[in-house]
Structure formats: C-alpha cells, structure tokens
Amino acid sequence: MFSTAVFKEERGIARLAGAGFASLIALAMVLVLASGASANPIASGSTALAVDKRPAKKLKKNKIVVQRVKPAKVQKGSFVFPVTGGKLNPSDPSTGVIRHSGGLKFKKGKRKLVAKKFVIKVANGVVVAKVGGNNVRLLSVDLSKAKISRNGFGITVKRVGLSLTGAAAKALNKTLKTKAFKKGLRLGHAVVKTQPSSVGLAAEGSTDLTPDAGTVGVLVGAGVFPAPIAPATVTPGGDFSFPITGGRNDVSTFAGEIRHSGGISLTQGGTVLNLTDFTINVDGDPDLTAVVNGGDRVSILDLDLSGLTVNVDPLDITLGNAVGNISADAAAALSATFGLPDVTGAPLGVAQVNAVAK
C-alpha cells in the first residue's frame, strides 16, 4: 500500500485630487504589510481614492478642479483606478511594484496638469506618476492607521494616509500658477484591493497519497517493500505524507508546481530504489517527477485531474482526488530493477494536496 504514495476600480473637486495620490500610497502599503514570502504577480484590482475635508476646502477656495482620466472612474465620491499589474513581495517589499491605468487632470482656468499611469516603487519609497514626458514623485505615506485584510488570495488595505512630496507641490504650483500646494500637505486616504494571478506556496502542509490496493499487491507480491524517506511519514491510515517545501500556482487554474521533501525507498533484497524530492507539475500534461537515487529527475506518475476537487479557505488550498498512474518510464524502471511485469498506466493511488498560500 505504501508504494503508490511514491508516485505522486465627479464628485468634490478637492476630493478627487487627494484621492489620486492616495491610491498610490495605499498600494505601497500593501507591499510593505501584506503577508507572504515571495513576490506574487498582480492580475487585477482597484484603488478607491478620497480626499479629506480640509484639503478639499482649500482646493475649492483656490478654484482648482480635478477630473478623472479614463479608464479611471468616479464612484461614491472617490476616484477608482484600475490596477493593471505589478508584483507584491510581502516579506521583502523592496522589489514591489503596483501599476495603474487612468489618472487625474488638475485644472485652474485654462491651465492644467495631467498625472497618469501611477506606479508605486517601494524600493525607493515613492509613488511615481507620468506628468508630460517625465516621471514625478508624488506622495509619501502614513501607515500608522492603516488596516490590512485578506479575502482569500486578495489583499485589501484601508485608511492609508497620504501627503504631497516637494516635487509634486512644486509641479502643481508652477503649472497652475498657485500657492495652494505645499510639501507635506496631507491630502486624504485610500482603499486598495488587489488580486494576484498566482501565489507562492509556503513550506507548510503536505501531499497525502492513498495507495491503490491492486498495484500494491503486485509490488509486494514481487517482494518489493516500500518505506518512507524522512521527513516523509506514513499516516495512521496508511497513506504516505510528503511535506510541501514550496512552489507556485495560478489562482484560477492552479497551473504551476508543488515541491516536496522526503521520498520513498523501494527495497527488494539488496536492491534499493530511492525516489525523492517529488514535484507535482500542473500543466497541459500534468505529472509527478522524482529524483531517482540522487541523480536524474524523472517523470514517474501521469496525473489525471479530471475529477480534481478544490477548496480555498482562505489561504489554505486543498486539492483532492488527483489520480496518479504509473508512467511508461517508471514502469520500465520497475521492470528492469525488480523484474516486475509492465505496469504502465496502472493506478498507483489518489493524492490530496494540503497547501498554504503566501
């Protein structure tokens, strides 16, 4: 029975202005505070931006109007900017980047300044926007009252404070012929929501494999006896349990790979075959590979995922009913090593992946 386990986002004038800057800051915060260890590429999301009352009154007093630049929208008194890409590295935000489409147009009479394509560059601690042909540093951020929550793989950051940089205040004052903007002027707050396209897997959880009794009988009948290679274990129910060491998977299709430690040894008299460091590959031709006797990596199982069951709660990923069938290469190796009959395509068992997303 143990052998099968082997194979396996136009309301107040000022409100709009401050909101634009806020979005960028909120994004930066996501990078700094979100939990996880590896950079997760961003698939989608939005940033909702609102301006506080005090700066809103100041902008109105100075007759400064702020309008959206498509595809940004105005919803419930806030600007909403689509998140178009980037990456989040929760444990090391120094490489984090979040990109947006759309932007903001600041107007006073016939004068205007357009800031668009907001980008957060965490390594430099700045929020950058395209103004004319130049990249301008716009904001600094106050995270003291920020709150982060997760909904499944998604990340939401609320109550992110923002203030103008000196470069932003200078550019706005010069272009609009005003003195309304000052370095450090607190503009407002933002809420940002992002969804990754894929997530890294933590070194937690395991893949548990329930063997096929018929195939086990063939092995044992030929005097081939399996044993776990630490840190793999055998559960009280007789399944092999292989610790997950990492990997990355698409959040919709779960395409990617899942890596494991430990392995299994097959022994027949003085002949030993060690299969270790299993990797589950989910792609157009899903399989499970192993390192054979410390040497080459070989595909030993063809995986049938037609009946795969999926549960995510909220970062725990459970993938069940993955059927593993012996590959042609594995069958040939078993025959050559242990004198077994051809078992190509024979079911070795059913696997359940119990993984944790970062």
Helix (H, G, I), strand (E, B) or coil at 223: coil
State the Cα torsion 129-131-135-139 to the nearest 10°: -40
Listed as own residue / partner, the contacts of 219-224 with beta carbons closer than 8 Å and 24 or more positions apart are 219/3, 219/266, 219/340, 220/3, 222/268, 222/338, 222/339, 222/340, 223/268, 223/269, 223/338, 224/3, 224/266, 224/267, 224/268, 224/334, 224/338, 224/340
Question: For residue 167, what pLDDT is reported?
Answer: 93
Ramachandran region, residue 184 (left: φ > 0; alpha: ψ -120 to 50; beta: rest): left
CA distances from 4 to 205, 222, 349 (A): 20, 15, 5
Question: For residue 46, what pLDDT is reported?
Answer: 92
Q: What is the pTM of this model?
A: 0.80
With a CB cutoff of 8 Å and minimum separation 6, the contacts of 52 are 18, 186, 187, 188, 189
* Neighbour tally for 324: CB within 10 Å: 29
Question: For residue 36, what pLDDT is reported?
Answer: 39
Question: For residue 163, what pLDDT is reported?
Answer: 82
10-residue mean pLDDT series, the chain (358 residues): 32 36 38 51 92 90 94 93 86 70 94 92 76 88 75 81 89 96 89 90 97 93 95 96 97 96 96 97 97 97 97 94 97 95 96 96
Start-end of H helices in the chain? 13-33, 53-61, 166-176, 213-221, 328-338
First to last CA, the chain: 33
Identify the CA nearest to 345 among candidates 276, 287, 268: 287
* Neighbour tally for 214: CB within 10 Å: 11
β strands within 293-346, DSSP E: 297-304, 309-312, 316-326
Give the burial string for 149-163 (b: 16+ CB within 10 Å, else e): eeeebbbbbbbbbbb
- Burial (CB count within 10 angstroms: exposed 0-12, middle 13-18, buried 19+), residue 21: buried
- Written as six digits, the tokens of 298 are 């070989």
37, 88 contact by CB (below 8 A)? no
| Cα 246 from chain centre | 13
